[in-house]
Structure formats: C-alpha cells, structure tokens
C-alpha cells in the first residue's frame, strides 16, 4: 500500500491517471506540441499555432528581402549616418565645455551643428526612400505577385474566323489532354515529405517590409530628438540665459537668429520625414506604430 494525497491506496489497485487538461490533444496524434493552457480547445490551439507559424514565415521572408544587395547598400548608408551622430555627440560634449561661458560662440557653434544634423537627416531620408522604392521589386524576388490577366499585345489580334478555328482546335486538344492529365494527377501531387507552400502573399510581404523601413525611420527620428533634447537642456538654455543677462548686442542677436533659423528648418524636415514615412507605409494598408 501507499499513501496518495492523504488516502491509503492498495498496491494492487492501479493509480488513476488523468490528462493534465481535459481538452488536451490526442496523445496518439502524430503532433508534437506544448501542453495547452487550461480551458483552451484544440481548435483554438491550432488557430494560434497557425498564426504563429505564419508570422515566423513572414519575418523570415522579410529578412531575405533585406538581404537584397541594393537594400543592403541603403542599410549600410544609414548605418554610416548613425555613426556620424555618435561622433557628433562626442563633439557636443567638447563644445559644451569650450563655450560654457560664451553664449555668442555657443550659438555660432550650434548653428553649424544644426546644419550637420540637417545633412545627416537628408542622407538618411534618401536611403530610406531608396528602400521604400525597392520594397516591391525586392519582395517580388521572394514572393512573386499574382499573375495579371494576359493582355494581347497590339498588332497580334486575329480575325474572327481564325479565332473560332483556333478555339475548336484548342477544345479538341483539351479533350485529348484531359485523359493524360487525369492519369498524371496522382504522380504530380506533392508527397507528404515535400515542403508546404508558403502562405505569405506578395502584398503582405511588401507591407511588412515597408513597416520595417518605417519603424527604422522613426527610430532614427527618435535618436535625433534625443540629441536635440541634450542640446536644448545642456547648451541652448544656459546660452540664452547668459545672453539675457548681458548688455544688448546686435551682432549676438544675429548669431542667435541664424541658429534659430537652422533649428526651425531641422524640426520641419523631421516632421516632414515622419509624415512621408506614415504615408509610404499606409499605401500597403499597414499601420505604422508611432513610438518616437
């Protein structure tokens, strides 16, 4: 005898076994899966698994699209822009120390910084647009689009009599070929060991690729906003306070006006890029998460 949960059970009485969950899949089925959550039906499990497999397939194909040589060239260009921003941040730290007590020279230096940021934004935007333009053709190399209805080229039209004759011949050949096709159906059918056909459509792939490009663009804009926040808090506000505490200086006013002009143009171009990203992604019916 042995004790099971406080009850004495005979050694000759088999311990009752119970599946972990009442609606768990048939263990005899030739399927390997994780235990279901309590209350989940087989139908719901297979629906979730199908959706998960589809998403994995989509991500794998998106990765293949970005392996395209032209897409990679644009990606490398964007990486170079990001490297420039890292160097610029180090330069800002030097400028902060160098002109901490000189608002005029600080404003002059920041004017050039904003110009450099505009140039970096332009370069990144061009690379992003290049990837957007390639999204359709690069995706078609991975998942071909649906075949369009064949259109007869100009100058190849047939006369009505010839068309009727060709139609009759085609029907005769189709009747003869149908018997052969019927016998070949079994041998032509895919075997169980063949790789199943993908479920990702061309349009869906293009949308996923563009969404990936758009999210990367928003991430870059977020990086720019971080740099501008650092400039505003650590450099620009102190310089404005120092300027206000000094005697009026027309030359200094002009320097600050030039700096503000460059900053305003940079902010406008950043806003325009965000708008273009959302429009480019929306063309495929995909929603772009605004996380920046």
Does 241 map to a domain?
yes
Does 156 map to a domain?
no
Structure confidence by residue, pLDDT tens digits, 64-120: 999 999 999 999 999 999 999 999 999 999 999 999 999 999 999 999 999 999 999
Structure confidence by residue, pLDDT tens digits, 159-183: 444 555 455 455 545 444 544 544 4
Q: Which domain holds residue 207?
A: 61-145+202-282
Q: How confident is the model at residue 54 (pLDDT cuts 50, 70, 90)?
A: confident
What's the average model confidence in pLDDT over 271-290?
Answer: 76
Query: Does the pLDDT at position 16 exceed 50?
Result: yes
User: Quick one: tokens of 227?
Assistant: 């740099």
Structure confidence by residue, pLDDT tens digits, 117-169: 999 999 999 999 999 999 999 999 999 998 763 344 444 444 444 555 455 45
Does 83 map to a domain?
yes
Does 15 map to a domain?
no
Query: Does the pLDDT at position 291 exceed 90?
Result: no
Does 84 map to a domain?
yes
Q: Are 220 and 286 a contacting pair, CB within 8 Å?
A: no
pLDDT score recorded for residue 38: 63
For 289, the 3-state DSSP assignment is coil
Please name which of 24, 23, 4 lies closest in space to residue 15, comparing C-alpha atoms: 4
Start-to-end C-alpha separation, the chain: 67
36 or 111: which leads in pLDDT: 111
pLDDT score recorded for residue 4: 53
Number of folded domains in the chain? Answer: 1
37 or 160: which leads in pLDDT: 37
pLDDT score recorded for residue 39: 66
Q: How confident is the model at residue 52 (pLDDT cuts 50, 70, 90)?
A: confident
Does 9 map to a domain?
no
pLDDT score recorded for residue 11: 53
Does 41 map to a domain?
no
115 or 291: which leads in pLDDT: 115
pLDDT score recorded for residue 185: 45
Q: How confident is the model at residue 229 (pLDDT cuts 50, 70, 90)?
A: very high
Does 287 map to a domain?
no
Structure confidence by residue, pLDDT tens digits, 234-275: 999 999 999 999 999 999 999 999 999 999 999 999 999 999
């Amino acid at each position: 005898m042995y004790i099971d949960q406080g009850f004495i059970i005979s050694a000759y009485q088999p311990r009752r076994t119970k599946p972990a969950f009442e609606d768990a899949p048939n263990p005899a089925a030739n399927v390997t899966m994780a235990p279901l959550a309590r209350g989940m039906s087989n139908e719901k499990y297979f629906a979730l698994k199908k959706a998960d497999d589809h998403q994995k397939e989509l991500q794998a194909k998106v990765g293949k699209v970005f392996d395209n040589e032209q897409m990679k060239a644009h990606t490398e260009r964007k990486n170079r822009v990001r490297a420039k921003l890292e160097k610029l941040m180090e330069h800002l730290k030097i400028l902060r120390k160098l002109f901490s007590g000189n608002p005029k020279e600080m404003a002059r230096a920041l004017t050039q910084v904003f110009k450099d940021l505009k140039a970096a934004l332009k370069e990144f935007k061009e690379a992003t647009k290049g990837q957007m333009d390639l999204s359709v053709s690069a995706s078609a190399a991975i998942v071909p689009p649906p075949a369009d209805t064949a259109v007869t080229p100009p100058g190849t039209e047939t006369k009505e009599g010839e068309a009727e004759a060709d139609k009759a011949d085609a029907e005769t050949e189709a009747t003869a070929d149908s018997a052969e096709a019927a016998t070949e159906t079994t041998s032509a059918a895919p075997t169980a060991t063949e790789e199943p056909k993908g479920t990702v459509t061309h349009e869906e792939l293009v949308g996923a690729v563009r969404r990936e490009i758009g999210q990367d663009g928003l991430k870059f804009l977020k990086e720019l906003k971080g740099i501008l926040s650092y400039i505003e808090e650590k450099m620009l506000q102190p310089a404005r306070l120092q300027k206000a505490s000094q005697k009026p200086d027309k030359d200094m006013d002009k320097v600050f006006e030039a700096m503000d002009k460059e900053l305003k143009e940079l902010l406008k171009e950043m806003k325009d890029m965000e708008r273009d990203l959302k429009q480019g992604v929306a063309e495929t019916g995909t929603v772009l998460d605004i996380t920046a």
